A and B are shown apart, each in its own frame.
Chain A
Amino acid sequence: DAKTTQPNSMESNEEEPVHLPCNHSTISGTDYIHWYRQLPSQGPEYVIHGLTSNVNNRMASLAIAEDRKSSTLILHRATLRDAAVYYCILRDSGGGSEKLVFGKGMKLTVNP
């Protein structure tokens, strides 16, 4: 699986938007970009995924660069419940990479 690079940590303020960056310069044309997050003492939780176009769901938005070498997870209004470790992961849509290869992720702290 192609590797991703994320900052170790970020801080944001409650009720403000937060942009979580991810670099994946070696992404292939068939790789999906997945985001998961892990709250304390819980298993990872799916957030969003996309291939080429920007994606929105009830949790977040995913903005994908035109060259697909980077992406940004956008939380529109951070809440204290969004404090978690966020993982940016690439998965091959063509099969052969069914597992999720997690890095260390990025710890998001939300200040009240």
Chain B
Amino acid sequence: EAGVVQSPRYKIIEKKQPVAFWCNPISGHNTLYWYRQNLGQGPELLIRYENEEAVDDSQLPKDRFSAERLKGVDSTLKIQPAELGDSAVYLCASSLAPAGNHRQYFGPGTRLTVL
């Protein structure tokens, strides 16, 4: 089966520019997650979707970050405007269900560099 697909793999932008990341989860997975991973740290959750509904966005910086998951499948994470501190790897993951005994499948991530 195809894994979680993310694009682009790399993005370099100047500060104050907008940027968007795209994720296609594994077919049939209702739960989708966006994580941010800073250098040398573990991933941190930004937002979690159950189908089309964002059920946990408490860690999403809402002044500049937005996300959507149309039709409960693909998802887009946007930053506008980007800041230097946004440089990180943005990971998308999906799971069949949110329960604690279900594994999460991660995509390869998008490495963002803000100059």
Chain A interface residues (CB < 8 Å from chain B): 30-32, 34, 36, 41-46, 49, 51, 87, 91-95, 97-105
* Contact A46 to B98, CB < 8 A, known contacts A99-B56, A103-B42: no
Beyond contacts A43-B93, A43-B109, A100-B104: 19 other A-B pairs, Cβ-Cβ < 8 A, are A32-B101, A34-B103, A41-B108, A42-B108, A43-B4, A43-B108, A44-B106, A49-B101, A51-B101, A87-B42, A93-B99, A95-B98, A97-B100, A98-B48, A99-B45, A100-B45, A102-B43, A104-B41, A105-B42
Report the 10 A-B pairs with minimum CB-CB distance, sorted nearest first. Answer: A102-B42, A43-B106, A98-B98, A91-B100, A93-B100, A46-B103, A99-B45, A32-B100, A44-B106, A92-B100
- Chain A nearest Cβ from B34, distance in angstroms: 11
Is B56's CB under 8 angstroms from A95's CB?
no
Subset of 26 A-B contacts with CB under 8 Å: A32-B100, A32-B101, A34-B103, A36-B104, A41-B108, A42-B108, A42-B109, A43-B109, A44-B91, A44-B93, A44-B104, A45-B106, A46-B104, A49-B103, A87-B42, A92-B100, A93-B101, A97-B100, A98-B98, A99-B45, A100-B43, A100-B104, A102-B41, A103-B42, A104-B40, A104-B41
Give B residues with C-beta under 8 Å from A. Answer: 4, 31, 33, 40-45, 48, 56, 91, 93, 98-101, 103-109
**With A104-B40, A104-B42, A105-B42: A43-B91 Cβ-Cβ less than 8 Å:** yes
Q: Which of A45, A51, A100, A101 has the most CB of B within 10 A?
A: A100
Interchain pairs with CB closer than 8 A, number: 63
B105 proximity list for chain A (CB < 8 A): 46
A46 proximity list for chain B (CB < 8 A): 103-105
A104 to B91, CA, bound (A): 16
Q: Which residue of B lies closest to A90 (CB)?
A: B100
A43 to B48, CA, bound (A): 17
The minimal Cβ–Cβ distance linking A27 to chain B, given in whole angstroms, is: 12
Q: Enumerate chain A residues within 8 angstroms of B108, measured Cβ to Cβ.
A: 41-43
